[in-house]
Amino acid sequence: MDDVGFPFFVELFAHTFSFWWVIIPAIFLGLIVGAIPGFSAANTIIILLPLTLAMGEEVGLVFMVALYCSSRMGAGIPAILVNIPGTAGAAATPLDGYPMTKQGKGPQALAISFVSSTFGGLLTTIVVLFVMPYVAQVVYYLHSVEMIVIMLFGISLIATIAARDTLKGLIAGFFGLMIGAIGADHVYATPRGTLGFLELYDGVPLIPALVGLFAISEAFLIIEGESILSEKGKALMRDAKWAETFEGAREALKRWWHIVWTSLIGLVIGVVPGAGAAIASFVAYQQSKTFSKTPELYGTGHIEGLIAPESANNGVTSGTLVPLLVLGIPGGATAAIMLVVLQFHGTTVGPDLFIQKPLLAYGVFSSMTVTYLLMILTVFPLARYMSRVTMVSTIYIAPVIISFTLVGSFVPRAYVFDMYLALAFGVIGYIARKTGYHVAAILIGVILGPLLEQYFLRALKMSQGDILVIFSSNIGNALWVCLALSLAIPYFKERQRKRTAAREALRRGEEAELGGTTE
């Protein structure tokens, strides 16, 4: 450990760059699997597990890390272009990414996403490299009680969405929470709301719900028109050149501070095993809107509304590997597969790894850094061409969306039932969109509801049924205060804005009256 200094890291990065021949193919593979709903880095690595085991230990890890990082970015591409999040971690991306696309700003939206993803991931990886022992301590301080409040930060996004139509927003959110409660309960394994379907005993599978509510319902909607784009959007897309792509990159870089703090939210949440990118992206979006000077623009194609979830879900990537390497606890599915590969090669993870094999331990994060640097060069130029997908007629694009997403809903569990479930959610999503209910509010309930129940019941069991346990932690209480402020601040800011507008209107009225008197 004493040998780990600046010369060590310089040598490590130079060594990692020599694996470019592994990293670049993994980047493109990750983009593809991330963009297809139902596929992810985890199940792709499982499919390729014999290949990674056959590789050398270091080469295999570099390949998995590069695939993991790029798949996060890939999930945002269909979310922005056709309103289909590739994974749950990209579920908040379409809230502002897709409206930008419909306005003909697809190249700008993709460029903003790529810049936010790469710099968010790059920043958090560099932070982890130098403060890993301290970041790892988060695992010891965030337990069930604290996670309950963090979940509520994400769920409070329902209230944020409901600001436009309170009743419909809350109905959609509670409907999602009810769907999330389907399955065997966490204490007695008693089935709830399964209607006798054994396939629902493990709860509502996430991918069919995700692709149904977003993708299939969107396909039903867009087929009613000739194009995804508005008439103005079509004209902008026809005339789009490299200037639009660079404009998007500039807009993202101008908001560098936004990338920094939202990616750090992703890092902290990523360190907690089982938390994941979905929670990070929802929390980051909610916090971004809460502290924005223009919260009314969120959901209309606002740049900061796209930056927040994309930088946060890429900030998660480095965070999930910290508990794996430092504590030997996998932070997610991909990290668990990496653990299998390391154990196959006879490597024991934990604190001793940094003493016995520092090149391998730090090499994981070095690989992430190099991957993000290479992604800037390989992926960014594709933004202009990827956005051309939106020019395809809906006669062709809608059936393709439905076909791909049905296959994607089948892949995770290999149940035909899940394909029917995706179609059912598609109908629910279509009706919700037609009647003014927000499908994102439903999805938040489906994703976060079961997790909130799980952590809440765990806390109750540990306290022998004392509900006041949720206020038993100092960190938890601080988070409760932050949550209350997050919900109160938008209300007071809106009141302040209305008062200012009223005063301004009164002043103009007085000026106009004085002007009339003078005449």
**Does residue 446 fall inside a structural domain?**
yes
- Residue 517 pLDDT level (bands cut at 50, 70, 90): low
- Contact, 339 vs 61, CB < 8 A? no
pLDDT at residue 116, as a whole number: 95
Q: How far lies 445's CA from each of 85, 88, 170, 179, in Å?
A: 16, 12, 10, 8
pLDDT tens digit sequence for 251-296: 999 999 999 999 999 998 888 877 778 889 999 998 998 888 888 8
Judge if 394 and 502 occupy the same domain. no
Domain-terminating residue out of 457, 472, 487? 472
Q: Is it the case that residue 357 has pLDDT exceeding 60?
A: yes
- In sequence order, what are the residues at sequence separation of 6 or more whose Cβ sits closer than 8 angstroms to the Cβ of residue 126? 369
Q: Is it the case that residue 518 has pLDDT exceeding 60?
A: no
pLDDT at residue 147, as a whole number: 86
Judge if 467 and 482 occupy the same domain. no
Q: Is it the case that residue 51 has pLDDT exceeding 90?
A: no
**Does residue 1 fall inside a structural domain?**
no
Judge if 466 and 483 occupy the same domain. no
pLDDT at residue 4, as a whole number: 64
pLDDT tens digit sequence for 94-137: 999 999 998 888 899 999 999 999 999 999 999 988 887 677 67
pLDDT at residue 125, as a whole number: 93
pLDDT tens digit sequence for 342-356: 888 888 887 778 778
CA 93 – CA 129 distance, rounded (Å): 28
φ and ψ at 42, to 5 degrees? -65, -55
Judge if 72 and 154 occupy the same domain. yes
Judge if 95 and 143 occupy the same domain. yes
- Contact, 323 vs 132, CB < 8 A? no
**Does residue 19 fall inside a structural domain?**
yes
CA 56 – CA 73 distance, rounded (Å): 26
pLDDT at residue 515, as a whole number: 63
Judge if 214 and 145 occupy the same domain. yes
**H or E segment to which residue 448 belongs:** helix 439-462
The pTM of the full predicted model, rounded to 2 decimals, is 0.85
Judge if 98 and 246 occupy the same domain. yes
Judge if 174 and 207 occupy the same domain. yes
pLDDT at residue 1, as a whole number: 46
pLDDT at residue 2, as a whole number: 47
What's the rounded mean pLDDT across residues 237-253?
Answer: 87
Per the structure block, which two tokens stand in for 357?
A: 């094999």
CA 323 – CA 349 distance, rounded (Å): 10
CA 300 – CA 27 distance, rounded (Å): 31
Q: Is 183 helix (H, G, I), strand (E, B) or coil?
A: strand
Compute the mean pLDDT over every residue in the chain, rounded to the nearest whole number.
85
pLDDT tens digit sequence for 393-433: 888 888 888 888 888 888 888 899 999 999 999 999 999 99
If you search the block for the tokens 């209480």, which residue do you land on?
477
Judge if 397 and 506 occupy the same domain. no
Judge if 90 and 156 occupy the same domain. yes
Domain-terminating residue out of 472, 488, 505? 472
Host domain of residue 269: 6-472
**Does residue 217 fall inside a structural domain?**
yes
- The 3 state secondary structure assigned to 288-354 is HHHCCCCHHHCCCCCHHHHHHHHHHHHHHHHHHHHHHHHHCCCCCHHHHHHHHHHHHCCCCCCCCHH
Give the range with max mean pLDDT: 325-339, 381-395, 407-421.
407-421
Pairwise pLDDT comparison (434 vs 498), residue with the higher score: 434
Domain count, the chain: 2
Judge if 325 and 354 occupy the same domain. yes
Judge if 490 and 402 occupy the same domain. no
